[in-house]
Amino acid sequence: MHPLIRIAGVFTVSALWSSPAFATSTGITGQSGKDGMSCATCHKGGEPPTVEFEGPASLDPGATGQYTFIIRGGAAKTGGLDIAVDNTDATLQTVSTGMKKLGAELTHSAPQPFNAGELRFNFSLVAPATDVTLTIFGAGNSTNADLKSDGDRSSTTKLSVKVGKGTPVDVPNEEGPKESDGGCAAAGSAPVWGAMLAGLALLRRRQG
C-alpha cells in the first residue's frame, strides 16, 4: 500500500477512537514534549512525577539500544507515556507489554499499574546507519486510576544519544567557522543547535 494511504488510515482510525471525549487511556502521540506539548495540557491536579530514561548515551550506527523509561511519584496508581525521537531514520520498538507503537511513537495500550512506587517501560531504539546525534523525548503520566484526567500529572524528559561520531561539527579554522555541510535533518532543532554551539565553544577553548 502507498505509505500516504496507510498514514491516512491510521489517522482515520485514531480519530474514530478518540471521539467524542479524546480518550487517551488507550494511548496518545504528539505529547512527548518533542513539539512542546505533553499530557499536562489535560491531566491536572496531581503532583508531578519524576521521569527518567535509562540506557546507552551512545550507539554504533545501525545498532539496537535497550532503554527503560521510568515514572516515580505523583498519584502513582496507574500511568502511561509517550516516547518520540527527533530523527526519522531511527526506529522505536516496544519491549514491555502494555505498550504499543502508534505512528512513529510509543505509548501505553491501557493504563499500566505502578509496582513498588514506580512504573517502568522497556523499549528499544534502532539507530540510523549514519553518524548523528539524536534526542529521545518522553512524557510520563502518573495517574490516580479514576479513568478521568484530573488528579493526575505528567513530567517530561529527554535523552541525547550519540550515534557513531555524532552529528558532524566543523572545526573552526583561522577564517572562522565554515558553514556546516551536515546535520540538515537537525537544522530545525534548537537543542541540537545548542549542543553544536556548545561543542564549538569547547573546541575553541581547547585550541586557545
Nearest to ligand HEC of 99, 127 (CB atom): 99
Q: Is 155 in the site for ligand HEC (CB under 6 A)?
A: no
Q: Is 139 in the site for ligand HEC (CB under 6 A)?
A: yes
Nearest to ligand HEC of 22, 62 (CB atom): 22
Q: Which of 80, 128, 166, 183 binds ligand HEC (CB under 6 A)?
A: 80
Q: Is 144 in the site for ligand HEC (CB under 6 A)?
A: yes
Q: Which of 35, 129, 146, 182 binds ligand HEC (CB under 6 A)?
A: 146
Q: Which of 34, 43, 72, 153 binds ligand HEC (CB under 6 A)?
A: 43
Nearest to ligand HEC of 147, 202 (CB atom): 147
| Count of Cβ atoms closer than 10 Å to residue 107 Cβ | 25
Buried-exposed string 83-103: b where 16+ CB fall within 10 A, e elsewhere: bbbbbebbebebeeeebebbe
Nearest to ligand HEC of 115, 207 (CB atom): 115
Q: CA 17, 19, 22 angle in degrees (round to 5)?
A: 90
- Placement of cell 512513529 in the chain: 104
Count interface residues toward ligand HEC (CB under 6 A).
28
The full DSSP string for 82-146 is EEEES-TTSEEEE-STTEEEETTEEEESS-EE-BTTEEEEEEEEEPPSS-EEEEEEEEEEEE-SS
Which residue type, as a one-letter code, is found at position 10?
V
| Count of Cβ atoms closer than 10 Å to residue 19 Cβ | 9
Q: Is 141 in the site for ligand HEC (CB under 6 A)?
A: yes
Q: Which of 74, 111, 164, 183 binds ligand HEC (CB under 6 A)?
A: 111
Q: Is 45 in the site for ligand HEC (CB under 6 A)?
A: no
User: In this structure, what DSSP letter does residue 5 have?
Assistant: H
Q: Are strands 58-59 and 150-163 parallel, antiparallel or unpaired?
A: parallel
Q: Is 49 in the site for ligand HEC (CB under 6 A)?
A: no
- Rounded CA gap, 196 and 208, in Å? 18
CB of 141 to ligand HEC, least distance (A): 4
Q: Which residues bind ligand HEC (CB under 6 A)?
A: 21-25, 28, 31, 39, 41-43, 78-82, 111, 139, 141, 143-149, 152, 154
